[in-house]
Amino acid sequence: MICTEIEVDRLDQLAEVLDEGGAGVVLVDNMDTAARREAVAMTAGRLVLEASGNMRIERIAEVAATGVDYISSGALTHSAQTLDLGLDF
């Protein structure tokens, strides 16, 4: 089974994906909380929704409450603290 993931950043794009079909997963990128909530209502469980974009750790619970299926956060990698160790002898 092939699953296509399509990225949208506006609700009109999501409506087009729903009309055309073919996607199993839609990445709703850089939407505010209200728009993500509307995206969940629009899809009504017909496909998987993944939230991403501007996903700070502080917002995860708020975004999860919209009903999206998955949340992607680059903060796990690009905001991680680093430790530089040298083993010079």
Give the distance from CA 56 to its chain's centroid.
12
What is the pTM assigned to this prediction?
Answer: 0.80
The DSSP letter of residue 66 is T
Identify the pLDDT of residue 9: 95
How many distinct structural domains can be found in the chain? 1
15, amino acid identity: A
Q: Which residue range is the domain that position 38 belongs to?
A: 5-71
pLDDT in tens, 35-71: 999 999 999 999 999 999 888 888 899 999 999 999 9
- The whole-angstrom distance between residue 80's C-alpha and the CA centroid of its chain comes to 20
Is residue 48 a part of any domain in this protein?
yes
Q: Give residue-wise pLDDT tens across range 69-79.
A: 999 987 666 66
Q: Say whether pLDDT at 13 is over 80.
A: yes
- Cα 60 from Cα 71, distance rounded (Å): 8
Is residue 84 in a domain? Answer: no
pLDDT the model gives residue 84: 77
Residue 80 lies in a domain: no
Q: What is the CATH number of the domain that holds 11?
A: 3.20.20.70
- The residue whose two tokens read 């999206």 is 68
| Alpha-carbon torsion angle 14, 19, 24, 29, nearest 10 | -10
